[in-house]
């Protein structure tokens, strides 16, 4: 995979454009937020996350979907269990992933952050392929956006405490940070 800084799109990954984005108010990109998602919860490889981020989710397919039917959300990237990466929004645009949030006293993190969703749950371990893809993608993002330092990589739970718990206790922050320091996938 290779990020084109001029367009904000990664080459070598699947593109699945979402309508759920807008322009960044200042154009600044200085924070990376790690999330997890699975639809229905705890089920993987369903393709429902992609449908959800594109406002195409059939809410009659599962009882859980009725509760999220009116949400309009997206992330810049999704990393599936097999390590496949899908991009929904250009990195230059503002994806709708963080919601009500604050980082170091600054509100509305969507304005200055990138969001990566890992297919998973708070409780289930993530896969080796996901850690490898996440490390490679993070390296591309840090190369293009130098303000994303190791200190400015966090979980959704860090910027929305009490409201969000992802990426959850199953996410191995130490493994991820070591891989970033070494400049290679774990």
- Supply the residues annotated as catalytic: 117
| Burial (Cβ within 10 Å: 0-12, 13-18, ≥19) of residue 60 | exposed
For 156, the token pair is 């959704």
Using DSSP, state whether 177 is helix, strand or coil: helix
For residues 109 and 88, what is the distance between their CA atoms, to the nearest angstrom? 18
Region of 14 (left: φ > 0; alpha: ψ -120 to 50; beta: rest) is: beta
CA 18 to chain centre: 13
DSSP 92-151: TEEES-S-S-EETTEE-GGGTEEEEEEES-SSSPPPHHHHHHHHHHHHHHHHH-TT--GG
For residues 60 and 94, what is the distance between their CA atoms, to the nearest angstrom? 29
């Amino acid at each position: 995979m290779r990020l084109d800084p001029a367009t904000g799109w990664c080459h070598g990954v699947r593109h699945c454009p979402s309508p759920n984005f807008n322009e960044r108010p200042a154009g600044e990109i200085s924070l990376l937020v790690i999330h997890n998602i699975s639809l229905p919860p705890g089920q993987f490889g369903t393709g429902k996350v992609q449908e959800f981020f594109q406002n195409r989710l059939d809410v009659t397919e599962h009882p859980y979907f009725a509760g999220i039917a009116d949400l309009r959300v997206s992330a810049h990237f999704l990393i599936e269990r097999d390590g496949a990466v899908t991009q929904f929004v250009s990195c230059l645009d503002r994806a709708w992933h963080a919601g009500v949030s604050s980082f170091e006293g600054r509100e509305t993190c969507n304005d200055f952050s990138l969001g990566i969703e890992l297919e998973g749950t708070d409780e289930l371990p993530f896969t080796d392929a996901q850690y490898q893809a996440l490390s490679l993608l993070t390296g591309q993002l840090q190369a293009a956006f130098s303000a994303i330092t190791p200190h400015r990589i966090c979980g959704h739970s860090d910027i929305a405490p009490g409201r969000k718990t992802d990426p959850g206790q199953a996410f191995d922050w130490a493994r991820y940070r070591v891989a970033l320091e070494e400049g290679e996938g774990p």
